[in-house]
Amino acid sequence: MSQMILCEPPRPMEPTPRPTDYDQDIIKEGVRASLGIIKDYLRDEYIEDQEIKIFQDLLQHERDGYILARQLESAGWFEDRELVSLCDDIVDNVYKAARLAVKEWLAAFKIEPKYEEGQLVSVVRNKKTYVGSIEGIDRERGTYTVRVKSEGHGRHCGWVIAWELPTAEPDIS
């Protein structure tokens, strides 16, 4: 006679925090995706690790191509329109890497929106709570567009907010 072993069903894994464009791994991926344009700019097939690290370090705090180019200038690079364009392209690649990471994160943890279009939600911004209606749901980026009339938002516009941030506004009818 065989014994039956009872065990709990597997618990769903708790989601990790949402990936952002300031995560070190995402910055590295954005810079890695930019190696070709960095090589073209430097007119060199070999890029030193220190050059890659410079971009990774600067991208921890800045997302404006012009300001990045100015910071590179203070590190000895020649700042010109081409360098600003290079920095803008690298920033774009970081954003692309972040969007892909969010898309994969949503799929991996099976995250779905909690609220429907038209539903009232509370949103905290700058330590102040606002009540607004959900005007749009972006399933690829995991965001809502929340219209807050008191902030002057018109129809089909508003703040773009991650799915996990709003809370349901209690029905007071």
The CATH number that domain 120-168 falls under is: 2.30.30
Q: What is the pLDDT of residue 83?
A: 95
Cβ neighbours for 81, distance < 8 A, ≥ 6 positions apart: none
Q: What is the pLDDT of residue 45?
A: 76
User: Does residue 5 register a pLDDT over 60?
Assistant: no
Cβ neighbours for 36, distance < 8 A, ≥ 6 positions apart: none
150: DSSP letter? G
Confidence of residue 46 (pLDDT cuts 50, 70, 90): confident
In the chain, where the domains are located: 24-108, 120-168
**pTM attached to this predicted model:** 0.82
Cβ neighbours for 90, distance < 8 A, ≥ 6 positions apart: 30, 31, 34, 37, 38, 55, 59, 65, 68
pLDDT tens track for 148-160: 999 999 887 899 9
Mean per-residue pLDDT over the chain, rounded? 89
CB 110 within 8 A of CB 159: no
Phi then psi for residue 138, to 5 deg, are -105, 105
SS3 (DSSP) at 5: coil
Counts of helices then strands in the chain (DSSP H, E) = 5, 5
pLDDT tens track for 121-135: 999 999 999 999 999
User: Does residue 66 register a pLDDT over 80?
Assistant: yes
User: Does residue 169 register a pLDDT over 90?
Assistant: no
Residue 85 CB burial class (10 angstroms; 0-12, 13-18, ≥19): middle
User: Does residue 115 register a pLDDT over 90?
Assistant: yes
